Amino acid sequence: MKKRIWSKAVSIFTAILLVVGLVPSTTVAVMAAETNIVYVGGVALSGSSDNIAYATTNKSGELITEGATADNYNIKWDGSTLTLHDATIQKELYASDLPLSNIAGAAIGVINQSGDAGLTVQLEGNNKIEGVSTGIHVRSSGGNAALNITGNGTLVVNSNYLTIQVTSIGGNAALSIENTKVTATSSYSNVVTVQSGNSENSSASVTVDGGSLTATAPSNNVSGIRFVFGSGGSGSGTPNLIVSGNATVRANGSAGGITNNSSTGVQYGTGSSTTGGIVWNGKDGTVYGKVELQEDLEIGEGESLTIEDGASLNTGSHEAIVNGGTLNGEDKITGTVKYAPSITTEFLPEGKVNEEYATSLSANGSEPITWNVSDGNLPTGLSLSTNGKITGIPTVRGNYVFTVTASNGVESDSKSFSISVVDPIYSIQNSGDISFADALEGYTPEVKTIMITNDGNQPITLDQPSSTSFDVGTLSKTELNVGETAEFTVQPKNGLLAGSYEEDIVITGTNNGKSVSTTVNVKFNVKHNAVKVERKDPTCTEAGNIEYWYCETCGKYFQDETLTKELKQEETIVPATGHNLTKVDEKKPTVDAAGNVEYWYCEVCNKYFSDEKAKHEITLEDTIIAKLPKFVSGANQEWTKGSKDGLTFKIDTDIKEFKKVLVDGKELKDTDYDIKSGSTILTLKPSFLDTLSAGKHKIRFEFNTGSVEAYFTVKDKENSSQTESANTGVQNKYGLWIVLLLVAAGGLAGFGILSKRRKNHK
């Protein structure tokens, strides 16, 4: 029986040990395996270099995997590159396909919820994505996102909402296009969107190396290319648009061709030292780096192309055609540049019955430009030559409306004109009479302009006008055609004395013995230049003056405003009064009151001086000697080592006067104490006090105004028993072992007692 009981005890103890051995827990790490999946036309394609997925597309834009092979495919996926070969995709990923709702609506989509997301699209032949919500969407919720479109084919993406979108929630986002042509349009939203995280280090970039990107947005306040940082209305980060390899980027949208929500503007440039590209931001184009055209370039109506400093454009075997737009930096172009004609003539002059008529039409554009009347008729007797000259003698009065066309082989431009044929009229008129503002003697002459207009219908030859009291400038022109204006200046002559001046200036003109004239009346008044000087009382050191008037023209002094009673200058002066000084004796400062130095004070000018002759002026502050420092609180304190708080002393002295603090004759470092104003409040840090031995210590505060001393006592830390609460978890393995051993020992003891009792009982 005893043996059986002992055996049970051993079993229990062993079980306890086994339990104890199992107590330490292990952590199980779960890793999500990444899959090489791309969603195309609503179908998940899983592929790798060893297991390539193939599919075809039918006329409805659906993806079909059955029957697709390496010799028969429109879609190929090898786990990293998606190849489109003459593919048409018209189906999208549905929102019900969770957890992929973030790329729902995409014809082509890649998403990574925890790491980087990237996709390379290889183009072969002509490819289309249409009739879907989103064309291509690459999204990362926990890393960077990148989309690379390459190949020798083309891609046209027409979506109902987003067209091409690269999204990184917290990292960087990049779209790159290499040597291929991508055309993207949207019927509702921004066309190309590159979105990264919202931080100063975030980057969102579009890179086009060779080929082209055309992004055209609808007219509902959206953009062709949009850089976004974060999900809010504004963010930080750097948006970049880089072109090279003679690439062309065209972005159009009613909100702007290229926009972003970052506080940093879009950074444009070329990623190559040998080639660049052209970026069109709406109607404004810019050439970056060295570019050679890969096709003809047309600058249309309202468009403007600028070749920036350091950039160049070589047309190669193509042409740059300016057709209604503007080209800035033509000197940086090599090759052929042609300008479409643009008629610059605004109107045509009147014709006079039976008088010779001659005028020329003008147009900008590449020569040669030829002209013809394309609609209507010229006045009877006039004709238009191919070089743009209208000549002849009109014979019939009337208003003739017609259209002329200018052509140069590049394009043509047409414009409507009219010519009125009238009887001859000789007439000129002026811009009106002139009245100069009243002036004082010694004036600077004011200048005014008189305009003479030919308001008849015959040319007029003007004669140079003249005047007695006024200087008359030279006519800007003497031959005035109909409607033309000449001008000349009029100003009073220098040095006119006080008085009133008025004169009629006559302007005359002639034509074929016919004489015409017009008269301008000019007025000018001159007054004495009298300046009143107010009375000024003298001071201790400065003289004053009486009230008087001074003529700035003649330099004389007068008692009255009418300048009739002349004075000498010295008669206007009131001498200085001199200082009235009072000596203030030196007063020593105390701890309760400030003192002062010896000084002299003038009650007249309220100034202070350090000497009785008032040669050295000082301020009131200079006279004050600050009061001596004294303790407010903190003397004879006690501090126990290990305390968290320091010792604080307050001294009744401005902190600006503080120099240093010493303990037991040793100057303290700045790191040994904290000091603040409120008089001067200084706290010794516990870290410093712990370095002191137990006992009494002397502290000394030194100020510019004196010093004060006090004592404080440092005490050793008192012994105290500290009971640490036992941990109830399995983390304290030794405590648990001891408890279990005690339990086991108690069990054995119990079994011994039980055995003994049974023996005695027997």
Q: How does residue 97 score in pLDDT terms, banded at 50, 70 and 90?
A: low
Q: How does residue 544 score in pLDDT terms, banded at 50, 70 and 90?
A: very high
Q: How does residue 746 score in pLDDT terms, banded at 50, 70 and 90?
A: low
Asked if the model's pLDDT at residue 466 lies above 70, the reply is yes
Tell me what percent of the residues of the chain surpass a pLDDT of 90.
68
Q: Which of 13-17, 191-195, 628-632 has the lowest mean pLDDT?
A: 13-17
* Contact (Cβ atoms closer than 8 angstroms) between residue 713 and residue 637: yes
Please state the rounded mean pLDDT for residues 59-73: 93
pLDDT, position 21: 35
Q: Which of 8-12, 29-33, 520-524, 676-680 has the lowest mean pLDDT?
A: 29-33
Going by C-alpha positions, the residue among 287, 232, 286, 228 that lies closest to residue 255 is 228
Task: Encode pLDDT of 329-355 as tens digits.
Answer: 989 999 999 999 999 999 999 898 888
**Taking the model in full, what pTM does it have?**
0.52
Task: Encode pLDDT of 111-167 as tens digits.
Answer: 998 899 999 999 999 999 999 999 999 999 889 999 999 999 999 999 998 899 999
3-state secondary structure of 746: helix
State in Å, rounded, how far the first CA of the chain is from the last one.
13
Distance CA 602, CA 419 (A): 91
Among 527-541, 563-577, 618-632, 637-651, the range of highest mean pLDDT: 637-651
Ramachandran region, residue 59 (left: φ > 0; alpha: ψ -120 to 50; beta: rest): alpha
- The backbone torsions φ and ψ at residue 761, rounded to the nearest 5 degrees and listed phi first, read -65, -35
- The strand order across the sheet containing 223-229 reads 43-46, 37-40, 106-112, 134-140, 164-168, 192-196, 223-229, 256-260
pLDDT, position 671: 95
* HSE value, Cβ hemisphere, 13 Å, CA-based, for 227: 29
3-state secondary structure of 223: strand
Residue with tokens 């990184």: 168
Please state the rounded mean pLDDT for residues 242-255: 94
Please state the rounded mean pLDDT for residues 205-234: 90
Sign of the dihedral defined by the CA atoms of residues 246, 134, 86, 176, in that order: positive
Distance CA 577, CA 567 (A): 23
Q: What are 732-741's contacts with CB under 8 Å, separation 24+?
A: 733/20, 733/23, 733/24, 736/20, 736/23, 737/20, 740/16, 740/17, 740/20
| Structure letter (DSSP) for residue 744 | H
Going by C-alpha positions, the residue among 293, 274, 203 that lies closest to residue 241 is 203
pLDDT, position 541: 87
3-state secondary structure of 752: helix
3-state secondary structure of 190: coil
pLDDT, position 591: 87
CA distance to 98, 118, 137, 633, 684, per residue, from 133 (Å): 17, 21, 11, 78, 70
- The strand order across the sheet containing 398-407 reads 351-352, 412-422, 398-407, 370-376
Report the interhelical angle of 2-22 vs 733-761 (nearest 10°).
Answer: 170
Asked if the model's pLDDT at residue 723 lies above 60, the reply is no
Sign of the dihedral defined by the CA atoms of residues 364, 370, 372, 374, in that order: negative
Tokens of 247: 């690439």
pLDDT, position 313: 95
pLDDT, position 337: 92
Give the total residue count for the chain. 762
Asked if the model's pLDDT at residue 218 lies above 70, the reply is yes
Asked if the model's pLDDT at residue 556 lies above 90, the reply is no
Asked if the model's pLDDT at residue 389 lies above 60, the reply is yes
Please state the rounded mean pLDDT for residues 472-497: 93
Task: Encode pLDDT of 295-323 as tens digits.
Answer: 999 999 899 999 989 999 999 999 999 99
Q: How does residue 483 score in pLDDT terms, banded at 50, 70 and 90?
A: very high
Q: How does residue 744 score in pLDDT terms, banded at 50, 70 and 90?
A: low
Rounded to 10 degrees, what is the CA torsion of 194, 195, 196, 200? 90
Asked if the model's pLDDT at residue 691 lies above 80, the reply is yes
Distance CA 91, CA 79 (A): 21
326 forms beta bridges with 304
Task: Encode pLDDT of 699-720 as tens digits.
Answer: 999 999 899 999 999 999 874 3
Q: Which of 92-106, 359-373, 598-612 has the lowest mean pLDDT?
A: 92-106
pLDDT, position 741: 57
Burial status of residue 11 (CB atoms within 10 A of its CB: 0-12, 13-18, 19 or more): exposed
Peptide bond into 99 cis (omega under 30): yes
Please state the rounded mean pLDDT for residues 239-244: 96
Q: Which of 73-82, 295-304, 429-438, 549-558 has the lowest mean pLDDT?
A: 549-558
- What is the average pLDDT score of the chain? 87
* HSE value, Cβ hemisphere, 13 Å, CA-based, for 546: 13
pLDDT, position 725: 36
CA distance to 238, 330, 509, per residue, from 321 (Å): 35, 12, 49
Q: Which pairing describes strands 382-384 and 370-376: parallel, antiparallel, or unpaired?
A: unpaired
